[in-house]
Amino acid sequence: MKLLLVEDDPSMRATLERALSRRGMQVSSCGDGLQALAQWKDSAPDALVLDLSLPGLDGLQVLEQGRRAGLHTPVLILTARGTVGDRVMGLNSGADDYLPKPFDLDELEARLRALLRRGPASGAEPASSPLQMGALRYEKESGAVYHRDQVLELTPREAALLQALMARPAHAVSKEKLFELVFPGEADVQYEAVEVVVYRLRKKLAHTGVTLMTLRGLGYLLKEE
């Protein structure tokens, strides 16, 4: 995979470039919106990972101008902006997927490879497939979770935990990784707080046909009944 990584934080950019290169990707990177647009046009990457907060042009401007120029590269927005409004704005501007910081590298890699399997974006209809397991559906655009056609009432932390597990079906996710996703930047919270969110989410998943399982020493996973 030939990947263009656009991230304004030098430390984050270097870390991601190393990590993704180790996973077999050919990574080029930059930290400026104007440079990103030029590299996108010149290098024709297989996929683009795009931060929103950039100098020069912000990420949405890069995305909109690239799509207007006929660039159909699959684009994954990677950003600290985590509100539903920001997600919808990015997707409506032509992004194919959206991953808020902090994130798990396994999920980032899986989403990038899924974008490649889907093929190039059309430029007109942003593609963002929901996460699906049995009768549960997580809509990435809105952040809403549905059981069949009914919205499942979840707290933001319960939804974050469910999304992390649905992104890795039949795979255990460690308590440490879930903590990073559910309690980002909250150093005063103990790891055991994840267990409270798991307990509450497990009760809400009763009768949905999906079970939240605890695997001692490994973490948690979702399984269809």
* Per-domain residue ranges of the chain: 2-118, 131-224
Instruction: Tell me if domain 2-118 and domain 131-224 are identical in fold.
Output: no
The pairing of beta strand 136-138 with beta strand 145-147:
antiparallel
Angle at 210 between CA 208 and CA 216, to 5 degrees: 140
∠ CA 176-152-145, nearest 5°, is 65
Task: List per-residue pLDDT tens for the chain, 225 residues long.
Answer: 899 999 999 999 999 999 999 988 999 999 999 999 999 999 889 999 999 889 989 888 999 898 888 888 899 988 775 555 555 666 666 788 888 888 888 888 888 888 777 655 444 344 457 788 888 988 876 677 889 878 888 888 888 899 889 988 778 888 888 888 888 777 778 878 899 999 999 999 999 999 999 998 888 999 887
- CATH architecture of the domain with range 2-118: 3-Layer(aba) Sandwich (3.40)
C-alpha distances in Å from residue 70, one per residue of 46, 76, 143, 205: 15, 17, 29, 43
102 DSSP 8-state letter: S
CATH 3.60.40.10 for domain 131-224, yes or no, is: no
